[in-house]
């Protein structure tokens, strides 16, 4: 569920509420003095961290030990 930021037109305060998208319309109908503030979503895409060599070696051992292994080792190169 997303975190929404609301702007109160009456007093100029900003508040945040955690609710599902389906509840958003109902909440705004109940609170006509609030506007949803546009904001960028917080997206996490990749951390830049790679597994250490021990993990890579273990995956290679598993793949070599099992004849028809489908372990994906494309990132081990």
Model pLDDT for residues 17-75, shown as the tens digit of each residue: 888 888 999 999 999 999 999 877 655 566 667 777 788 788 888 888 887 877 776 65
pLDDT at 45: 61
* Sign, Cα dihedral of 13, 40, 21, 3: negative
Using the predicted structure, report yes or no on whether residue 77 has a pLDDT greater than 70.
no
pLDDT value of residue 73: 65
Whether the predicted model's global pTM rises above the 0.85 cut: no
């Amino acid at each position: 569920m997303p975190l929404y930021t609301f702007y109160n037109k009456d007093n100029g305060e900003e508040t945040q509420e955690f609710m599902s998208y389906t509840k958003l319309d109902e909440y705004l109908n109940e609170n006509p003095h609030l506007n949803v503030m546009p904001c960028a979503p917080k997206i996490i895409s990749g951390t830049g961290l790679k597994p250490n060599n021990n993990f890579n070696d273990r995956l290679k051992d598993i793949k070599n030990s099992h004849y028809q292994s489908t372990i994906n080792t494309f990132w081990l190169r």
